[in-house]
């Protein structure tokens, strides 16, 4: 973090960054502290007034009981080195997986996060790195998480999930029930994994795939169901019972059409297996790769996404060399964009956090243009073959929610003294550097990013075709 970083020097409900982190850590799940010690602390201060929001931002944001994740969710703003990156993914804000409308204080929010495998850190430096990580890009972080496991991504499906399926095959046993196709469709839609089951199955699997003794798995793969712990067996049994009870409540009593036990068993098995498979897909641990960067990285390859991650896992992580950076216009977490609310007529441009990240974009473009001017100057003094300098790579910025970014970047340019030529300067940025997603889908593909403004010479060429 540089000395001018708004987070390092910021104030949060009157606390410094370091004081804020120390307080937050007190609410986290503790491995060594006694339960009574934790509860005593939380009883004295439930964290209702805790906030990650910069005091300079707070007056512009409308934070209420429906969006307290803005206060309590760990913020994110920069992931990757903005000084050296060439491809910037510019998003609106980080999301929370949890609806916080029923959380009345920080204690309850963190308990909810913990149930859903929320991410926590143990030191002030780790929190600084999480909010502004200008060292490791996001794909490198995902790759490091996967490479630390004893299984390749594809082995989830080759070894672990088959063990679960074997167990389900042996334990789903129903009587013959009266059922119609219509009622089965209704029933099928009701079958979702319960939160408690998701927690258990994810934790059990994480323990398996992160086990330091890689030989443990090899020794057990030939022993049927050996990998399935008693805790996981109980969880699967409870989930099956829940589904059977759901079926009993929903099934039609008026129809005379019957479906065999074998067919019903098969349907239940496949439904449960497919949902478990989706829940444990290793691509879930590579969200940014899957949702944004996979098409950009996987050119000239016939591998699917999971096999591509296998190649990274087996042949060494090359993601650390990628010149990418992810930026969030608003660093505070909401469940969706509708959770972002402003007071009066305030906008993103009024937030110091949003202006900070917009200024990083301007700074990176200026750095490139200075480098290019120097390069061009050397070319004029010698021919291309004699010039040893490499041509600097022009950075590009791909925006979601472009209009909000546009307004904030223009505001920053104006206050840097570009008022008289603001539109002219901004049009140049749009023509040369800015791309956007034309729809809600954020995958970087040839068909899903568009230049914000067509350069004048290209437009002139189109005009000539008339």
For residue 225, the model assigns a pLDDT of 43
Q: How far is CA 16 from CA 52, 129, 317, in A?
A: 11, 16, 37
On whether residue 465 sits in a domain, the answer given is no
Give the lowest-confidence range in 107-116, 166-175, 271-280. 166-175
Of 135 and 290, the structure prediction assigns the larger pLDDT to: 290
Q: How many domains would you assign to the chain?
A: 1
What does the alpha-carbon distance between residue 455 and residue 380 come to, in Å, rounded to a whole number?
25
Q: How far is CA 275 from CA 116, 189, 192, 278, 402, in A?
A: 17, 12, 8, 5, 35
What does the alpha-carbon distance between residue 115 and residue 276 come to, in Å, rounded to a whole number?
18
On whether residue 277 sits in a domain, the answer given is yes
Q: Which of 223, 239, 2 is nearest to 134 (CA)?
A: 2
- Average pLDDT score, the chain: 76
Give the lowest-confidence range in 78-87, 127-136, 141-150. 141-150
On whether residue 330 sits in a domain, the answer given is no
Q: What is the DSSP letter of 304?
A: -
For 367, counting Cβ atoms within 10 Å of its Cβ (0-12 exposed, 13-18 middle, 19+ buried), the class is middle
Q: Does 260 score more than 80 pLDDT?
A: no
Residues of the domain holding 224: 155-284
What does the alpha-carbon distance between residue 295 and residue 289 come to, in Å, rounded to a whole number?
9
Q: Does 224 score more than 60 pLDDT?
A: no
For residue 449, the model assigns a pLDDT of 86
For residue 22, the model assigns a pLDDT of 86
Helix (H) or strand (E) holding 12: strand 11-12
Q: Does residue 371 sit in helix, strand or coil?
A: helix
Q: Does 292 score more than 80 pLDDT?
A: yes
Count of Cβ atoms closer than 10 Å to residue 7 Cβ: 21
Which span out of 9-23, 167-181, 287-301 was modeled with the highest average pLDDT? Answer: 9-23
On whether residue 313 sits in a domain, the answer given is no
Count of Cβ atoms closer than 10 Å to residue 15 Cβ: 16
The per-residue pLDDT for range 95-105, each reduced to its tens digit, is 887 677 778 88
On whether residue 174 sits in a domain, the answer given is yes
Of 392 and 441, the structure prediction assigns the larger pLDDT to: 392
What does the alpha-carbon distance between residue 273 and residue 254 come to, in Å, rounded to a whole number?
30
Cα 216 versus chain centre, distance? 31
If you compute the radius of gyration of the chain from its CA atoms, what whole number of angstroms results? 27
For residue 256, the model assigns a pLDDT of 40
Q: Which of 49, 92, 55 is nearest to 68 (CA)?
A: 49
For residue 304, the model assigns a pLDDT of 81
Q: Name the pLDDT band for 402 (thresholds 50, 70, 90).
A: very high
Give the lowest-confidence range in 154-163, 204-213, 418-427, 451-460. 204-213
Of 226 and 355, the structure prediction assigns the larger pLDDT to: 355
On whether residue 122 sits in a domain, the answer given is no
What does the alpha-carbon distance between residue 293 and residue 394 come to, in Å, rounded to a whole number?
19
pTM (predicted TM-score): 0.80
For residue 246, the model assigns a pLDDT of 64
**Residue 200 — left, alpha, or beta (φ > 0 → left; ψ -120 to 50 → alpha)?**
alpha
Q: Does 330 score more than 80 pLDDT?
A: yes
Percent of the chain's residues with pLDDT above 70: 66
Average pLDDT over residues 311-326: 81
Q: Where are the beta strands (DSSP E) in 251-338?
A: 324-328
- The set of residues, in sequence order, having a beta carbon less than 8 Å from that of 368 and lying 6+ positions away, is 392, 393, 394, 395
Q: Does 463 score more than 60 pLDDT?
A: no
For residue 27, the model assigns a pLDDT of 81
Q: Where are the beta strands (DSSP E) in 50-206?
A: 78-79, 87-91, 132-133
What does the alpha-carbon distance between residue 261 and residue 385 come to, in Å, rounded to a whole number?
78
For residue 214, the model assigns a pLDDT of 45
Entry field: residues in the chain: 466
On whether residue 63 sits in a domain, the answer given is no
Q: Which of 246, 229, 120, 266 is nearest to 194 (CA)?
A: 246
- The set of residues, in sequence order, having a beta carbon less than 8 Å from that of 84 and lying 6+ positions away, is 323
Of 403 and 217, the structure prediction assigns the larger pLDDT to: 403
Sign for the CA dihedral angle at 92, 97, 100, 105 comes to negative
Helix (H) or strand (E) holding 70: helix 69-72
For residue 215, the model assigns a pLDDT of 46
Give the lowest-confidence range in 54-58, 119-123, 265-269. 265-269
In contact, 88 and 361? CB cutoff 8 Å = yes
For residue 454, the model assigns a pLDDT of 74
What does the alpha-carbon distance between residue 454 and residue 462 come to, in Å, rounded to a whole number?
11
- The set of residues, in sequence order, having a beta carbon less than 8 Å from that of 407 and lying 6+ positions away, is 347, 348, 349
Q: Does 79 score more than 60 pLDDT?
A: yes
For residue 179, the model assigns a pLDDT of 43
On whether residue 183 sits in a domain, the answer given is yes
For residue 346, the model assigns a pLDDT of 95
What does the alpha-carbon distance between residue 399 and residue 409 come to, in Å, rounded to a whole number?
12
Of 280 and 21, the structure prediction assigns the larger pLDDT to: 21
Q: What is the DSSP letter of 185?
A: H
In contact, 407 and 349? CB cutoff 8 Å = yes
In contact, 454 and 430? CB cutoff 8 Å = no
Q: Name the pLDDT band for 223 (thresholds 50, 70, 90).
A: very low
For residue 461, the model assigns a pLDDT of 65
Q: Name the pLDDT band for 284 (thresholds 50, 70, 90).
A: confident
């Amino acid at each position: 973090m540089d000395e001018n970083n708004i987070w390092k020097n910021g104030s949060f409900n009157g606390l410094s960054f370091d004081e804020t982190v120390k307080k937050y850590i007190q609410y986290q799940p503790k491995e060594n502290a006694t339960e009574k010690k934790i509860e005593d602390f939380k009883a004295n201060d439930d964290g209702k007034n805790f906030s990650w929001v910069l005091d300079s931002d707070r007056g512009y944001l409308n934070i209420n009981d429906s969006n307290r994740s803005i206060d309590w969710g760990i913020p994110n703003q920069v992931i990757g080195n903005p000084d050296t990156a060439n491809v910037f993914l510019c998003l609106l804000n980080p999301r929370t997986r949890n609806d916080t409308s029923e959380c009345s204080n920080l204690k309850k929010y963190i308990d909810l996060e913990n149930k859903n495998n929320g991410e926590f850190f143990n030191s002030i430096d780790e929190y600084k790195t999480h909010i502004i990580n200008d060292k490791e890009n996001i794909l490198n972080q995902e790759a490091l998480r996967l490479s630390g496991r004893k299984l390749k991504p594809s082995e989830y499906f080759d070894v672990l999930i088959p063990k679960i399926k074997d167990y389900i095959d042996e334990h789903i046993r129903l009587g013959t029930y009266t059922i119609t196709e219509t009622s089965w469709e209704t029933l099928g839609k009701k079958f979702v994994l319960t939160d408690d089951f998701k927690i258990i199955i994810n934790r059990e699997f994480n323990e398996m795939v992160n086990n330091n003794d890689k030989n443990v798995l090899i020794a057990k793969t030939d022993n049927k169901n050996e990998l399935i712990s008693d805790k996981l067996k109980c969880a699967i049994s409870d989930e099956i019972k829940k589904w059977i009870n759901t079926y009993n409540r929903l099934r039609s009593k008026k129809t005379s059409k019957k479906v065999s036990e074998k067919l019903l068993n098969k349907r239940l098995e496949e439904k449960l297996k497919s949902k478990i498979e989706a829940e444990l897909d290793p691509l879930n641990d590579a969200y940014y790769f899957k949702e944004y960067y996979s098409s950009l990285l996987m050119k000239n390859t016939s591998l699917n996404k999971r096999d591509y991650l296998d190649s990274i896992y087996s042949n060494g992580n090359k993601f650390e060399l990628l010149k990418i950076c992810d930026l969030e216009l608003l660093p505070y977490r909401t469940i969706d964009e509708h959770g972002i609310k402003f007071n009066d007529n305030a906008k993103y441009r009024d937030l110091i956090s949003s202006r900070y990240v917009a200024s990083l974009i301007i700074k990176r473009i200026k750095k490139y243009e200075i480098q290019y001017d120097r390069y061009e100057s050397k070319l004029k003094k010698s021919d291309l073959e004699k010039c040893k300098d490499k041509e600097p790579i022009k950075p590009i910025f791909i925006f979601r929610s472009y209009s909000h970014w546009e307004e904030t970047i223009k505001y920053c340019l104006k206050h840097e003294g570009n008022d008289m030529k603001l539109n002219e300067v901004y049009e140049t940025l749009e023509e040369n550097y800015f791309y956007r997603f034309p729809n809600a889908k954020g995958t970087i593909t040839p068909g899903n990013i568009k230049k914000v403004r067509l350069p004048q010479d290209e437009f002139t060429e189109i005009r000539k075709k008339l």
